[in-house]
Structure 1
Amino acid sequence: MVFMYTRNSKLRGWWDPVRLIIWGPSAKLTATDPEIADHLAQMQKDGVEVWACKACADRYGVSEQLEKQGIQVLYVGAPFTEMLKEGWKSLTV
């Protein structure tokens, strides 16, 4: 559901910009599952910004793999807080 909504949000102009943030064990799944990586690569081509939490990715030992997928790996606590303060909408599942 998250992938479909995220991609369609960008393609249909529902939100701009559109950013997907990968947290927790999803970082490991993203780094190791080719199907997930393919979905994210397509979203990136469509213009979706994909970030991964560096603390989470480091914890699972996958920061380098995520960066190779073109995912921006960074500490997201402060940027995410700023996004919320600026009025960004957040969808979590």
Structure 2
Amino acid sequence: MASKVVVIIATGEKKKARTGIVYAKNACAHNWLDEVKIVFFGPAETLIVEDEELSRLARETARECECLACKAISDREGISNQIEELGINVKYVGSVTSNLIKNGYVPMVW
């Protein structure tokens, strides 16, 4: 059985978001699992745009892993373009996340 995880980073707390991003980045870079996908959601979307350290980490992570951010939220907050500049795909992620879980991805939520 393949080891697959979807890392959902939704927190507005910097320390928690950093922990989730670093875990996801390392899981991808070091092939800890067969498949890793990252979804930035809610308050975390604003954090990765406004916080310099988290912006850098998110950009680096997007080079290693498939990263998505919620379009509904980023459009509402007016930050979709800034998220895309980090190399993160901006999409409606509700059905995407649900389908990943249906297809055996284990959700890790930060």
Q: TM-score, normalised by structure 2?
A: 0.76
Secondary structure at the residue paired with 1:90?
A: strand
**What RMSD, in angstroms, separates the aligned Cα atoms of the two structures?**
1.3
Deviation at 1:17, TM superposition (A): 2.4
The alpha carbon displacement at 1:44 in A equals 2.1
> Quick one: distance in 2 between partners of 1:67 and 1:44?
10
- Please identify which structure carries the higher strand content: 2
SS of 1:29 mapped into structure 2 = helix
Residue in structure 2 matched with residue 30 of structure 1 by the alignment: 48
Match of 2:91 in 1: 74
Match of 1:41 in 2: 59
Does the 8 A contact of 1:50 with 1:72 survive in 2? yes
- CA distance, structure 2, for counterparts of residue 80 and residue 87 of structure 1: 11
Question: What code does the residue aligned with 1:52 have?
Answer: A
Question: Which of the pair has the greater relative contact order for Cα pairs under 8 Å at 6+ separation?
Answer: 2
Q: TM-score, normalised by structure 1?
A: 0.89
How many equivalent residue pairs?
Answer: 92
Identity score, percent:
32
